[in-house]
Amino acid sequence: MESDFETSNGAGRTDGPAAREALSALHADRQALADRIRTPAWYYPLLALCTALIIGSPGPGAPAQFVLVAFGCLGITFLSLAYQRITGMTITRMAGPKSLVVSIVLGIVIVLLLGVSFALTATGHPEWVVASAAAAFVAMWGGGRLYDRVYDRELRDGH
The DSSP code sequence of 26-91 is HHHHHHHHHHHTPPPTTHHHHHHHHHHHHHTTTSS-HHHHHHHHHHHHHHHHHHHHHHHHHHS---
Mean pLDDT, residues 130-143: 97
Distance between CA atoms of residues 113 and 139, nearest Å: 10
More confident residue, 30 or 40: 40
Contact call for residues 129 and 58 (beta carbons, < 8 A):
yes
What pLDDT does 84 receive?
86
**Predicted TM-score (pTM) of this structure:** 0.76
Give the pLDDT of residue 24.
Answer: 62
Q: Which residue has the higher pLDDT, 153 or 111?
A: 111
pLDDT at 10 over 70: no
Per-residue pLDDT of 31-73, as tens digits, reads 666 565 678 889 999 999 999 999 999 987 778 899 999 999 9
Q: What is the DSSP letter of 127?
A: G
User: By the 8 A CB rule, do 23 and 85 touch?
Assistant: no
Q: What is the pLDDT of residues 90-101, one digit of tens each?
A: 766 666 899 899
pLDDT in tens, 76-125: 999 989 988 887 777 666 668 998 999 999 999 999 999 999 999 999 99
